[in-house]
């Protein structure tokens, strides 16, 4: 009798979850998300309405605010698009090839994560200034980078690249070379194998990494203010304008700009998630 019941006891023991029950874990999850995310975002959305609807519209429709928002989102979109291509290329090289200093190059990808943003901004402004190592040759060619909107794009490309690379890298490593080899045996060229076999498998990770890079770039402050020049109506970003309003004790105005940024960012991320769902439904 004891021998017969031993396996059943063992099965029941191994089926026990290592975590508490669903109710407790769900309650803690909702509490944590509410305290860390939902409550601050709700306060951000409620605070601007103390101005009144007309004043709120006047605040976000001011030419300086519109230009700052346009620069932040357009530069972030351009930087994310660049990183989607270059990040895929870098991840491909790191996964598919072995070369001298491979580990060092792989570690350098994480440098924007570890480097303080202010230090990154100072380094970029020194490099791309008209007297810098990179900026001087570009200036002689008639291209000014530092203290222009182009400098903003350069800074956002720098801080967004790791998001794309680190999102694609594990997916590409897990895929291996077998799908490409199978396509080659069927007569596909390298471009056809990449375009029709590899890229569709990487597309969800690529979209996710691009979305993360875009979201990170929209709110970037430290690495941009040094290279942007911060000229109103030219190279002033929305996060800087929020800081300026906070220094002027215009909390409602700062919250109004932040609320617009939050709404636009949510719409962009929602659109990217919609694209992912559409691609998954096609499979």
Q: How far apart are CA 160 and CA 5, in angstroms?
A: 58
> Are the beta carbons of 76 and 253 closer than 8 angstroms?
no
Average pLDDT for residues 25-43, to the nearest whole number? Answer: 83
Report pLDDT for 170.
Answer: 93
Measured from the Cβ of residue 252, the count of other Cβ atoms closer than 10 Å reads 17
194 — pLDDT class (breaks 50, 70, 90) = confident
Report pLDDT for 15.
Answer: 53
Tell me the residue length of the chain: 283
Q: How far apart are CA 272 and CA 125, in angstroms?
A: 32
Token readout for 257 is 């700009």
Report pLDDT for 42.
Answer: 82
Token readout for 187 is 């007569």
Q: How far apart are CA 84 and CA 267, in angstroms?
A: 19
- C-alpha of 138 from chain center: 28
Q: What is the pLDDT of residues 213-237, one digit of tens each?
A: 998 999 899 889 999 988 889 999 9
Average pLDDT for residues 35-46, to the nearest whole number? Answer: 81
Q: What is the pLDDT of residues 112-168, one digit of tens each?
A: 888 888 899 999 999 999 888 999 999 999 899 999 999 999 999 999 999 999 999
Q: How far apart are CA 239 and CA 246, in angstroms?
A: 11
23 — pLDDT class (breaks 50, 70, 90) = confident
Report pLDDT for 1.
Answer: 46
Q: How far apart are CA 3 and CA 120, in angstroms?
A: 67
Q: How far apart are CA 223 and CA 228, in angstroms?
A: 9
Rg (CA), the chain: 24
What are the boundaries of each domain within the chain? 22-51, 53-282
With tokens 């498998």, the residue in question is 201
Q: What is the pLDDT of residues 51-75, one digit of tens each?
A: 778 888 888 899 999 999 999 999 9
**For the domain 53-282, what is the CATH code?**
1.10.3720.10
With tokens 């999102």, the residue in question is 167
> Are the beta carbons of 57 and 191 closer than 8 angstroms?
no
Q: How far apart are CA 239 and CA 115, in angstroms?
A: 20
């Amino acid at each position: 009798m004891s021998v017969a019941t031993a396996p059943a006891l063992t099965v029941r023991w191994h089926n026990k979850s290592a975590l508490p029950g669903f109710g407790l874990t769900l309650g803690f999850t909702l509490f944590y998300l509410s305290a860390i995310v939902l409550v601050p975002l709700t306060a951000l959305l409620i605070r601007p309405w103390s101005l009144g609807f007309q004043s709120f519209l006047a605040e976000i429709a001011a030419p300086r605010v519109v230009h700052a928002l346009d620069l932040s989102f357009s530069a972030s979109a351009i930087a994310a698009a660049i990183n989607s291509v270059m990040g895929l290329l870098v991840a491909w090289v790191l996964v598919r090839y072995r070369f001298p200093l491979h580990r060092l190059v792989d570690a350098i990808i994480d440098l924007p994560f570890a480097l303080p943003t202010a230090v990154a901004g100072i380094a970029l402004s020194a490099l791309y200034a008209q007297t810098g190592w990179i900026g001087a040759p570009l200036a002689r060619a008639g291209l000014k980078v530092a203290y222009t909107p182009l400098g903003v794009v350069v800074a956002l490309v720098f801080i967004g690249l790791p998001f794309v690379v680190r999102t694609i890298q594990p997916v590409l490593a897990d895929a291996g070379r077998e799908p490409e080899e199978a396509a080659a045996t069927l007569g596909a060229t390298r471009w056809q194998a990449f375009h029709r076999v590899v890229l569709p498998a990487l597309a969800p990770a690529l979209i996710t990494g691009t979305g993360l890079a875009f979201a990170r770039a929209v709110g970037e402050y430290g690495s941009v203010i040094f290279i942007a020049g911060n000229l109103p109506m030219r190279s002033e970003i929305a996060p800087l304008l929020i800081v300026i309003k906070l220094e002027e004790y215009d909390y409602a105005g700062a919250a109004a700009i932040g609320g617009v940024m939050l709404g636009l960012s949510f719409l962009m991320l929602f659109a990217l998630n919609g694209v992912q769902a559409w691609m998954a439904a096609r499979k």
